[in-house]
């Protein structure tokens, strides 16, 4: 059965799935859907995912969207995926579900709220929103503290696991979206969280070389967006004088 | 009893789990954590769930938070839970995961924000926020539209075109029930355009009776109390300064 992964490498959950597939040697075709070019709004893509979001997969004639559902499906449907990614043990698995659920309304919501309103909105022709950015940052910081003190309490991976699970991939790929922010902001936000920083490195190593490979697609897009942001900001301050 | 459920029946996800357990004959002790009295902030509850939220579960010494994780765990470890709640089939299960995931940032986010900011806030010692309520309503309406046109597509009466309810139906319907707290005309305005959704709510209630109605009775009691307080004039600007304990 053929596996197609519809993804934009600029999308955090897309990256998590691409890295997972490569790290587990799954055969698949990556179908790029470029959000900045509004390709997710095409009628063809609506057939794949009526919610018009990436990532989405088609496996044979089975369609699926929502990255956590996809990661769980791939871990379950493909033989040869090592147990630590999505353990068969009911209790270990339940804990992974609970951090994946927590993620939606905490790390993801905070991180997206911050980064979107700080920079990424411009890629969609939308204005930056300092108020929403500040709210996002507050939730992002609280979420990083929770990861530092609770989810990574028994380290090195989430939930005291000695090897990474799909939860580690999902959450770390969310945090790497901070590459879109200014370096000094990124430092300010991440540097107080030593365990988080180590965990990100450990997750990168555990899925090497694919983690680096997938993330290497980001810099050109980031540079373009940062240049656009600089332009917008200088236009705004010019219009004030 | 080894299974303990820490819940507040005013909390949508708490209700989903209580109904699920009762329906499936799962023995459990319900430990009430009253959110309006800030019992979720006590050091004792922090030991149970450091996220300080309900619902939370303890099975023996195994602690778990997040309602979807709890529903999935209970469906897996308790014998006698019928397959349709959380089918073993990998494809159907994946689809259930996808609607449960979608729920967090869509129906739940919209509905919870709308109800809190338009109506429930004073009961929790918070001010109403019409701007946030309007934003919440927008997302809520968009989500209901998605349920109407995407999630309820198919031959069956339940989500994903299923012929029998799953944990996803329970979770999402319990969320929508929170709208019982808002003004009837607002509720009609929001729900009216979605006939499939209304039928699905009814079908889910029928499939889970009598527990669904019993567990939801608290909403109607609270609504009466809130109406009384409003007509007495003691809910509104003045309540911002009073302590939460004195309100309910």
User: Could you read off the pLDDT tens digit of each residue along chain A, which spans 241 residues?
Assistant: 899 999 999 999 999 999 999 999 999 999 999 999 999 999 999 999 999 999 999 999 999 999 999 999 999 999 989 999 999 999 999 999 999 999 999 999 999 999 999 999 998 889 999 999 999 999 999 999 999 999 999 979 999 999 999 999 999 999 999 999 999 999 999 999 999 999 999 999 999 999 999 999 999 999 999 999 999 989 888 887 6
| B94 and A CB contact within 8 Å | yes
The model's pTM is: 0.94
For residue B94, give the nearest of A69, A91, A105 by CB distance: A69
Cβ neighbours of residue B200 closer than 8 Å, sequence gap 6 or more: B147, B152, B157, B158, B159, B169, B173
Distance CA A209, CA A201 (A): 12
Residues of A with CB below 8 A from B148's CB?
A: none
A68 and B101 in contact by Cβ < 8 A?
A: yes
Could you give the residue range(s) of every CATH 3.40.30.10 domain in chain A?
3-83
Could you give the residue range(s) of every CATH 3.40.30.10 domain in chain B?
3-81
Find the closest chain A residue to B70 by CA distance. A94
Distance between terminal CA atoms of chain A?
62
Task: Scan residues 104-123 of B and list those with Cβ closer than 8 Å to A.
Answer: 104-105, 108-109
| A59 and B CB contact within 8 Å | no
**CA-to-CA dists, residue A93 to A58, A162, B19, B244, angstroms:** 25, 15, 23, 38
Could you give the residue range(s) of every CATH 1.20.1050.10 domain in chain B?
90-241
DSSP state string for B93-117: HHHHHHHHHHHIIIIIHHHHHHHII
Cβ neighbours of residue A217 closer than 8 Å, sequence gap 6 or more: A9, A10
A50 and B150 in contact by Cβ < 8 A?
A: yes
Class of domain A84-223: mainly alpha
A94 and B95 in contact by Cβ < 8 A?
A: no
Could you give the residue range(s) of every CATH 1.20.1050.10 domain in chain A?
84-223
Shortest distance between the Cα of B136 and any Cα of chain A, in A, equals 15
Distance CA A181, CA A237 (A): 20
Q: How many CB atoms lie under 10 A from the CB of residue B117? A: 21
B66 and A102 in contact by Cβ < 8 A?
A: yes
Find the closest chain B residue to A88 by CA distance. B76
Class of domain B90-241: mainly alpha
For residue A97, give the nearest of B69, B105, B146 by CB distance: B69
Residues of B with CB below 8 A from A136's CB?
A: none
B104 and A104 in contact by Cβ < 8 A?
A: yes
Reduced DSSP (H G I as helix, E B as strand, rest coil) percent helix, strand, coil of chain B, to 5: 65, 5, 25
Residues of B with CB below 8 A from A151's CB?
A: none
A101 and B68 in contact by Cβ < 8 A?
A: yes
B62 and A73 in contact by Cβ < 8 A?
A: no
Residues of A with CB below 8 A from B50's CB?
A: 150
| B97 and A CB contact within 8 Å | yes
* Residue A239 pLDDT: 84
Per the CB < 8 A criterion, the answer to whether B201 and B176 are in contact is yes
Longest CA–CA span in chain A (Å) reads 64
| A68 and B CB contact within 8 Å | yes
Domain B3-81 matching CATH 3.40.30.10: the answer reads: yes
Distance CA B101, CA B31 (A): 27
Cβ neighbours of residue A75 closer than 8 Å, sequence gap 6 or more: A20, A81, A85, A86, A166
B55 cis-preceded (ω within 30 degrees of 0):
yes
| A77 and B CB contact within 8 Å | yes
State pLDDT tens for residues A55-99: 999 999 999 999 999 999 999 999 989 999 999 999 999 999 999
Q: How many CB atoms lie under 10 A from the CB of residue A154? A: 12
**CA-to-CA dists, residue B200 to B147, B156, B176, B194, B229, angstroms:** 10, 10, 11, 10, 33
Structure tokens at B44: 């004792």
Q: What is the ipTM of this complex?
A: 0.96
* Residue A241 pLDDT: 66
B72 and A95 in contact by Cβ < 8 A?
A: no
Distance between terminal CA atoms of chain B?
31
Find the closest chain B residue to A73 by CA distance. B94
Question: What number of helices (H) and strands (E) belong to chain A?
Answer: 11, 4
| B54 and A CB contact within 8 Å | no
- Residue A68: closest CA among A4, A8, A2, A14: A14
| A231 and B CB contact within 8 Å | no
| B90 and A CB contact within 8 Å | yes
Which residues face A58 on adjacent strands? A4, A63
Q: How many CB atoms lie under 10 A from the CB of residue B128? A: 17
- Per residue, the 3-state secondary structure of B22-37, as one string, reads HHCCCCCEEEECCHHH
* Residue B233 pLDDT: 65
Cβ neighbours of residue A108 closer than 8 Å, sequence gap 6 or more: A12, A174, B105
Q: Along the 248 residues of chain B, how does pLDDT read in single tens digits?
A: 689 999 999 999 999 999 999 999 999 999 999 999 999 999 999 999 999 999 999 999 999 999 999 999 999 999 899 999 999 999 999 999 999 999 999 999 999 999 999 999 988 889 999 999 999 999 999 999 999 999 999 999 999 999 999 999 999 999 999 999 999 999 999 999 999 999 999 999 999 999 999 999 999 999 998 888 777 765 544 444 444 443 33
State pLDDT tens for residues A157-167: 999 999 999 99
Distance CA A63, CA A1 (A): 12
| B2 and A CB contact within 8 Å | no
Shortest distance between the Cα of A105 and any Cα of chain B, in A, equals 7
Please give the CATH number for the structural domain made up of A3-83: 3.40.30.10
Per the CB < 8 A criterion, the answer to whether A126 and A94 are in contact is no
| B142 and A CB contact within 8 Å | no
B94 and A101 in contact by Cβ < 8 A?
A: no
């Amino acid at each position: 059965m053929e596996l197609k992964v519809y993804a934009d490498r600029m999308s955090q959950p897309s990256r998590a799935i691409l890295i997972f597939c490569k790290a587990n040697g799954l055969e698949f075709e990556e179908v790029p859907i470029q959000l900045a070019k509004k390709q997710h709004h095409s009628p063809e893509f609506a057939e794949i995912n009526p919610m018009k979001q990436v990532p989405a997969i088609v496996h044979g004639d089975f369609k699926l969207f929502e990255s956590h559902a996809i990661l769980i499906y791939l871990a379950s449907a493909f033989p040869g995926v090592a147990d630590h990614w999505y353990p068969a043990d009911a209790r270990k698995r339940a804990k992974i579900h609970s951090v994946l659920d927590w993620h939606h309304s905490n790390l993801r919501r905070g991180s997206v709220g911050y980064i979107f309103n700080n920079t990424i909105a411009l890629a969609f022709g939308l204005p930056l929103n300092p108020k929403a950015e500040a709210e996002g940052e507050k939730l992002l910081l609280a979420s990083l503290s929770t990861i530092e003190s609770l989810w990574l309490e028994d380290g090195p991976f989430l939930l005291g696991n000695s090897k990474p699970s799909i939860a580690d991939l999902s959450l770390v790929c969310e945090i790497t979206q901070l590459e879109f922010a200014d370096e000094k902001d990124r430092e300010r936000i991440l540097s107080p969280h030593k365990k988080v920083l180590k965990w990100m490195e450990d997750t990168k190593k555990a899925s090497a070389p694919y983690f680096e490979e997938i993330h290497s697609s980001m810099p050109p897009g980031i540079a373009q967006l940062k240049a656009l942001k600089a332009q917008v900001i200088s236009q705004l301050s010019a219009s004030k004088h | 009893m080894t299974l303990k459920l820490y819940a507040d029946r005013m909390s949508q996800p708490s209700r989903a789990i209580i109904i699920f357990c009762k329906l499936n004959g799962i023995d459990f002790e319900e430990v009430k954590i009253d959110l309006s009295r800030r019992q979720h902030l006590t050091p004792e509850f922090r030991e149970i769930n450091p996220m300080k939220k309900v619902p939370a579960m303890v099975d023996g010494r195994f602690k778990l938070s997040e309602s979807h994780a709890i529903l999935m765990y209970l469906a897996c470890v308790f014998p006698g839970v019928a397959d349709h709640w959380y089918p073993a089939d990998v494809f159907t299960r994946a689809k259930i995961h996808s609607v449960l995931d979608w729920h967090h940032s869509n129906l739940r986010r919209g509905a919870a924000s709308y109800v809190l900011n338009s109506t429930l806030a004073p009961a929790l010692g918070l001010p109403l926020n019409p701007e946030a309520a309007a934003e919440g309503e927008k997302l809520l309406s968009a989500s209901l539209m998605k349920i109407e046109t995407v999630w309820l597509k198919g031959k069956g009466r339940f989500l994903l075109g299923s012929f029998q309810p799953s944990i996803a139906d329970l979770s999402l319907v319990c969320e929508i029930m929170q709208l019982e707290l808002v003004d009837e005309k607002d509720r009609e305005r929001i729900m009216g355009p979605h006939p499939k959704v209304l039928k699905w709510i009814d079908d889910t209630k029928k499939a889970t009776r009598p527990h669904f109605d019993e567990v939801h009775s608290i909403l109607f009691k609270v609504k009466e109390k809130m109406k009384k307080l409003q007509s007495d004039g003691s809910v509104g600007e003045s309540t911002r300064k009073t302590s939460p304990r004195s309100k309910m």
